[in-house]
Structure 1
Amino acid sequence: MSDKSILDHISALVDEEQQLRDGATAPGQNAERIRHIEHQLDQCWDLLRQRRAKREFGDDPSSARVRDEKTVEGYEG
């Protein structure tokens, strides 16, 4: 997976999230999907940061791995 493909995936997720937020006919109708997208976005941004850090320090960016939701969400607190 390349940085570009990660950024493309982030863009698609952001577009979907915006469509769900704009198109909701009832409050909370799409809340579960939106929450899932938010978690995926956090994971994608984390993966991209890992890749960039590895590249900066001379490591192989392809060795970066997607971390589980709980690990990534734990960074916010």
Structure 2
Amino acid sequence: MYKVINRFKENQHDDHIYEVGKPYPAEGKKLVKSRAEYLTKVHPKYGVAFLQEIEEKKPAVKSAPKKVTVEKSDE
């Protein structure tokens, strides 16, 4: 997953304007990995990168609680 770090117009997404902080690609748009990776590099003409790759947080796997047995004494 990627997020926008500099506003830009994506000519490969029907000139969609991507705003800072928004996810890339926009809903309904196709992710082309090579394009996204290109946009994470500093652009030679504009001197900035447009995207930053972010790690997708995977839900933590919770294990079942351990069963504790308590023994009663006859005292």
TM-score range, shorter chain: under 0.3
TM-score, L = length of structure 2: 0.21
Give the structure with the larger strand fraction. Answer: 2
Q: Which structure: greater helix fraction? A: 1
Q: Which has the higher Rg, Structure 1 or Structure 2?
A: 2
